[in-house]
Structure 1
Amino acid sequence: MRTVLAALLAASPGVAGADLGPYALSAFGGTTLDNTWDEVFLSPGSIEFTDSHLAGAAVSARVAEPLDGLSIELEGQIVRHFGGQTHWEVNAPIAVARWSRFPWDETVRSSAAFGLGLSLAGETPAQEVENEGDSQAFMAYWMIELEVAAPDSPWSLIGRLHHRSTAYGLFGEDGGSNALAMGLRRRF
């Protein structure tokens, strides 16, 4: 799969020198984890995947650029869970802060982003109940994302940590989940 995505990026016609546009469509898939979000960063060798997976689509729009290299985006997602749990999830509105100025941009276009919003699951997620003892459909959502692409290509690869939580008790006492996901994005 990685080889296919790399070939698509390499074969994609560039848009030399052009603004890639303020909009993007993304498709991603991943697997939920038995780990907490901080364990992903502090103990990456201890990551344990569950038998629950997700596939999602997102649409986003750049709405502001307060600093050179920093953009603010709004994103909405629809996600289907399958395997250990089967339900739909909608995440919106997600406010995303994206940094896109790096020293290697002439070789590889890249960005790092953090997004925060709300999440509504079609039912109480079974994996969250299994991991946390309880959960609820309505929770906080955040994501951390890395994006890489050829410098002038509208196509990019994304990797993200997909996180639902109680926001330290704001949305309940127990619940939440983490997933690692990869995907493809088209900017326009």
Structure 2
Amino acid sequence: MRRPDSNQSQTPGSGGPTARSRAARAGLAAVWLAGASVAASHAAAADLLAPAPVAVAPTIPDASLLSPAPIATEKLWGLAVFFGSSGGQHDMHQLLIKPWLLHPEDYVWTGAAVNRRIGRFWTDFSVELEGGVGHRFGPRYSGNEAWVATFVRYDGFFWNDRLYTTLAASTGLNYLDSFPREELASRRRSHILHYFAPELTFALPDHKEHEFVFRFHHRSGVFGTFNGVWGGSNVVSVGYRHRF
């Protein structure tokens, strides 16, 4: 009897090697498609859950807090006239506490000054340049003077919406062509001395250009800095300034 040939190929429907390999490839393809579908589902879910990107604008600090206040709208020039009286031989600190300690019998004083505001810093402070001339006259003394000075002014008082108030002080030079009695008492003298002028002004908030001025007109040697002079002289004055 003839034995069947072992190398004879099997029919397609018999479940031979060729059919099994095709089935395996089909199974792998199905697994790959299922995995891709799951991955796509996860990506779509992530897109739905992730917050949309928001454009963040850079934060810019308020320039008014960092920069000097503009002075373009302010009246920069000022013209003032003063009238006052000698403080006698009282020291500056005495007159600051008791400004009525005057000696008009020694001399009275008149003066005029022009100033200009040149800048502002820290919002409530301004810097001004001033030049002025004055005359001291009376039965005991007569003399002419002139000064140049730099003033620093503060105008940030909380009540300024009801009464506009400023406080200022200067540093500068004062020239006097002759010496009053209080300066003659000093061992050394100088025609040119330091000019220090504390000043307080008041104005209506709606009319800041009209200022009432209260000023101490003080010249001294600043503890011997000017030609060894330790003394000086004082005038207590009131005045009016018009800003334009």
The normalised TM-score by structure 2 is: 0.64
Indicate the SS of the match to 1:39.
Answer: helix
1:141-185 deviation line (CA, Å, top 9, x unaligned):
110000001112111100011100011101123431011100000
Q: Which residue of 2 aligns with 1:36?
A: 91
Q: Please state how far the C-alpha of 1:128 moved relative to its aligned partner.
A: 3.0
1:27 aligns with 2:81: yes
Once residues 239 and 99 of structure 2 are traced to their aligned partners in structure 1, the CA distance between those partners, rounded to angstroms, is 22
CA-atom RMSD, angstroms? 1.9
Matches within 5 A, 1:132-147: 132=186, 135-147=189-201
Change (3 A) 1:186 1:161: same
Contact kept, 8 Å, 2:87 with 2:95, in 1: the verdict is no
Q: Which residue of 2 aligns with 1:162?
A: 217
Contact kept, 8 Å, 1:129 with 1:135, in 2: the verdict is yes
Matches within 5 A, 1:76-155: 76-83=131-138, 84-92=140-148, 94-123=149-178, 125-132=179-186, 135-153=189-207, 154-155=209-210
Q: Please state how far the C-alpha of 1:41 moved relative to its aligned partner.
A: 2.9
1:176 aligns with 2:232: yes
Percent identity between the two aligned chains: 28
Q: Which residue of 2 aligns with 1:9?
A: none
1:63 aligns with 2:118: yes
Greater strand content: 1
Between 1 and 2, higher relative CO (CA 8 Å, sep ≥ 6) is seen in: 1
Q: Please state how far the C-alpha of 1:46 moved relative to its aligned partner.
A: 7.7
Change (3 A) 1:142 1:45: closer
Once residues 100 and 219 of structure 2 are traced to their aligned partners in structure 1, the CA distance between those partners, rounded to angstroms, is 20
Once residues 45 and 32 of structure 1 are traced to their aligned partners in structure 2, the CA distance between those partners, rounded to angstroms, is 11
Once residues 120 and 45 of structure 1 are traced to their aligned partners in structure 2, the CA distance between those partners, rounded to angstroms, is 23
Indicate the SS of the match to 2:205.
Answer: coil
Once residues 165 and 106 of structure 1 are traced to their aligned partners in structure 2, the CA distance between those partners, rounded to angstroms, is 37
Q: Please state how far the C-alpha of 1:105 moved relative to its aligned partner.
A: 1.0
Greater helix content: 2
Structure 1: gaps (5+ residues)? 1-17
Q: Runs ≥4 in structure 1, deviation > 4 angstroms? A: none
Indicate the SS of the match to 1:129.
Answer: helix
Once residues 170 and 131 of structure 1 are traced to their aligned partners in structure 2, the CA distance between those partners, rounded to angstroms, is 18
Once residues 121 and 163 of structure 2 are traced to their aligned partners in structure 1, the CA distance between those partners, rounded to angstroms, is 23
Question: What is the count of residue pairs matched by the alignment?
Answer: 168
Once residues 238 and 134 of structure 2 are traced to their aligned partners in structure 1, the CA distance between those partners, rounded to angstroms, is 13
Q: Please state how far the C-alpha of 1:53 moved relative to its aligned partner.
A: 1.1
Once residues 108 and 36 of structure 1 are traced to their aligned partners in structure 2, the CA distance between those partners, rounded to angstroms, is 31
Once residues 100 and 131 of structure 2 are traced to their aligned partners in structure 1, the CA distance between those partners, rounded to angstroms, is 31
Once residues 242 and 121 of structure 2 are traced to their aligned partners in structure 1, the CA distance between those partners, rounded to angstroms, is 23
Q: Which amino acid aligns with 1:181?
A: S
Q: Please state how far the C-alpha of 1:131 moved relative to its aligned partner.
A: 4.7
1:92-149 deviation line (CA, Å, top 9, x unaligned):
1x010000111111111110000110011122x1233355455321111110000001
Q: Please state how far the C-alpha of 1:47 moved relative to its aligned partner.
A: 2.1
Indicate the SS of the match to 1:49.
Answer: coil
Contact kept, 8 Å, 2:102 with 2:236, in 1: the verdict is no
Q: Which residue of 2 aligns with 1:49?
A: 103
Contact kept, 8 Å, 2:99 with 2:236, in 1: the verdict is no
